[in-house]
Amino acid sequence: MAKDIRVAAIGECMVELQERPDGGITQSFGGDTFNTAAYMARLGEGLGGFVDYVSAIGDDPFSDAMAAFWRAQGVGDRLVLRRPGRRPGLYFIKTDAAGERRFYYWRGEAAVRETFETEGSDAILTALSGYSNIYLSGISLAVLRPQSRARLIARLGELARDGIAVDFDCNYRPLLWESVETTRATYEEVIAFASRVLVTVEELEVLGIAPTPEAGASHFAAMPRLEVVIKDGAKPCTLIHDGKIETVPAMAVDKVVDTTAAGDSFSAAYLLGRSLGLAPAEAALRAHAVAGAVVQHRGAIIPKDATPDVFASEIARLR
């Protein structure tokens, strides 16, 4: 079954600007679901090109460079729409002395907003049936115009009923949503057919749940078909699956440099580990190891040689 892993990651990649300690600026590309797709492709490199990105970008030089960057990271762009006259969004990262970051966004002209309502979108929605897993986040939904959002959710529901795994990361950015009520209703609609849900302790509150691992575990334990990971930063994560509740400790890190993409890389490793047949607790242990390496480097995508090869033995057995 592992040989048939094919992942479509839906969302927005942006131009990333990051302030260096010397006051200069480094330019790259990033975005939550793209970060996850890139780490998944890297961690599963021995599986071949099994990860494709689903998005829309413009026809400008930044969009060209972005698509080239995706391909260099092992992420396919065959399901990416090109919108004439549009551009990708942009964000700026400022990081404090503890490695925590603040984001500032510019995305008014972003092509991604109309991904599922413009020319070519029908073909993309149809092509999703060729994947074993569809991955998306709360940001994937938030950046879409309401019509695109509705079309995507309807299609995901169809795919889930056909046996395709829909993996949903609740990644919540309040400034992108009209209201918390709209967010909650949208999340609940997706969770109703999702296979796996990843959520932080803080994001539980968006779902009307007290922001504690215990409250989250109690809530999701009533949904036995659903597998849930409650992430809690450097603290243990909580797993709810098959009627069980487990906690898995995070990796200790002496020096946190930048927490950008820590959660995204965790999601990549956890979901790939599960697709490779690992038990939830083992997948979480390896996901913690990857996230622990990521926070020791600046930027969303760390150097390849700094990324732990946590699935080498599982992938070698598939060859």
As annotated, the active-site residues are: 264
- Rounded distance, CA 197 to CA 216, Å? 12
Separation CA 124–CA 310 (nearest Å): 32
Q: How would you list the strands of the sheet with 237-241, edge to edge?
A: 76-82, 51-57, 7-10, 133-137, 165-169, 196-200, 227-231, 237-241, 244-248
Contact 73, 42 (CB under 8 A): yes
Residue pair 297/257 in contact by the 8 Å Cβ criterion: yes
Question: How many Å apart are CA 218 and CA 152, to the nearest integer?
Answer: 30
Token pair of 62, please? Answer: 């930044």
Q: Give the separation between CA 179 and CA 164, rounded to whole angstroms.
A: 30
Count of C-beta atoms within a 10 Å radius of residue 197: 22
Six token digits for residue 84 = 């004439």
Taking the C-alpha atoms of residue 72 and residue 250, their distance in angstroms, rounded to an integer, is: 30
Sheet with 14-19, edge to edge strand ranges: 25-30, 14-19, 90-95, 101-106
Q: Do 261 and 248 contact (CB within 8 A), yes or no? A: no
Distance CA(236)–CA(225), nearest Å, equals 23
CA-CA distance, 107 to 94, in Å (whole number)? 18
d(CA 123, CA 188): 27
